Amino acid sequence: MTDTTSAYCGPDRILSGMQPTGGLHLGNYLGALKNWALMQDSGKQCFFCAVDMHAMTMEYDPALLPGRVRGVAAAYIAAGVDPARSAIFAQSAVPEHAELNWVLQCVARMGWMERMTQFKDKAGSGKDAERASVGLFTYPVLMAADILVYKATHVPVGDDQKQHLELARDIAARFNRDFGGGRIILPEPEPVIMPVGARIMSLKDGSRKMSKSDPSENARINLYDDADTIARKIRKAKTDSEPLPETAGSLDKRPEAKNLVGLYAALTGESIDDVLDEFGGKGFGAFKPRLAEVAVEYMAPVSEEYARLLNEKAEINAVLKNGAERARATARSVMTEVRALIGYWNA
């Protein structure tokens, strides 16, 4: 594929989002949120949304959704996203996401959608898959709309979102080909993935990612967990009985050990080799208490600020209102351009 982003003349913009489907966890933080805060310093315009429309693709309680959007916004701010520099908003407050979604549904091809692995993971198989919502199937198109409605060029996400970003790029390229008349209207967005921490695994099963939807609370460290809870979850984390190895390659067949070492590296900013230099040959009895200490120390300022903000309803509501207004101004102008290109009625 040609690198069309380099030929794109518009400004660089950053967009990302998380689903308000439950409290955020350390995987969300190390894999994405931390990077959002850092990327604000690039001087690029930033948009960070709570994707409440995506949260409707699985069973959910409408009465809980607005509170969860507020919770996600509070987590963004606690993690260092600055509402003065970045627009923080609810996806549903900017109707242009839904408007572009339809346009892009007519651009995306069935074959592209059928390759999406997240649908297969979330929908299951047989009768379960038949009962899945159509929205769950078309979820990645709405995600493409979230990005392209701002002409975002950079999307900081965890490793699991790579395939969705690839689809967004394909959709943008096809839109440009069909409607751009040789111009790049929608830039192909680049995923921005952290070198360490992009895939934190469950504390109970090193082959599954840490997730909000995991039924076991002990599988994840939540942003709101206090020091004792964090230490207890790490103490109980699944491990094997071997001491830690001296070299990174030897971790490959030991998913739980690899995850805990990766977690230590992501929290301290050290490389995996540095961590093994210090802990290689030592057992988990020595490593886990150090990891717990590091995690508690690292997370305390974030979780304290998060807890404080959860009580500041009015403050968060104001941030979300202001963020939506700013986001909408950009989304509206992109939609005006799109509507003219696709032949919508405009008499």
Could you say which residues in the range 237-296 bind ligand TRP, by CB under 6 A? none
Cβ at position 142, least distance to ligand TRP in Å:
7
21 interacts with, out of ligand ADP, ligand TRP, none, CB within 5 to 8 A per kind: ligand ADP
- Is 97 a binder of ligand TRP (CB under 6 A)? no
- Is 147 a binder of ligand TRP (CB under 6 A)? yes
SS3 of the chain: the string is CCCHHHHCCCCCEEEEEECCCCCCEHHHHHHHHHHHHHHHHHCCEEEEEECCCHHHHCCCCCCCHHHHHHHHHHHHHHCCCCCCCEEEEEHHHCCHHHHHHHHHHCCCCHHHHHCCHHHHHHHCCHHHHHHCCHHHHHHHHHHHHHHHCCCCCEEECCHHHHHHHHHHHHHHHHHHHHHCCCCCCCCCCEEECCCCCCCCECCCCCCCECCCCCCCHHHCCECCCCHHHHHHHHHHCCCCCCCCCCCHHHHCCCHHHHHHHHHHHHHHCCCHHHHHHHHCCCCHHHHHHHHHHHHHHHHHHHHHHHHHHHCCHHHHHHHHHHHHHHHHHHHHHHHHHHHHHHCCCCC
Cβ at position 275, least distance to ligand TRP in Å:
27
28 interacts with, out of ligand TRP, ligand ADP, none, CB within 5 to 8 A per kind: ligand ADP
81 interacts with, out of ligand TRP, ligand ADP, none, CB within 5 to 8 A per kind: none
- Is 15 a binder of ligand TRP (CB under 6 A)? yes
- Is 330 a binder of ligand TRP (CB under 6 A)? no
Q: Which range binds ligand TRP by CB under 6 A, 81-89, 141-149, 173-181, 318-326?
A: 141-149
Please work out, in degrees rounded to the nearest 5, the angle formed at the alpha carbon of residue 208 by the alpha carbons of 207 and 212: 160
- Interface residue with ligand TRP among 57, 92, 161, 268 (CB under 6 A) is 161
Residue with smaller CB distance to ligand TRP, 72 or 267 = 72
- Is 200 a binder of ligand TRP (CB under 6 A)? no
Residue with smaller CB distance to ligand ADP, 8 or 209 = 209
Interacting residue ranges for ligand ADP, rule: CB under 6 A:
18-19, 21, 27-28, 31-32, 157-158, 160-161, 198-200, 209-213
Number of residues that bind ligand TRP (CB under 6 A): 14
Residue with smaller CB distance to ligand TRP, 91 or 268 = 91
Annotated active-site positions, please?
A: 122, 209, 212
209 interacts with, out of ligand TRP, ligand ADP, none, CB within 5 to 8 A per kind: ligand ADP
- Is 16 a binder of ligand TRP (CB under 6 A)? yes
Residue ranges binding ligand TRP (CB under 6 A): 15-19, 51, 54, 143, 146-147, 155, 157, 161, 164
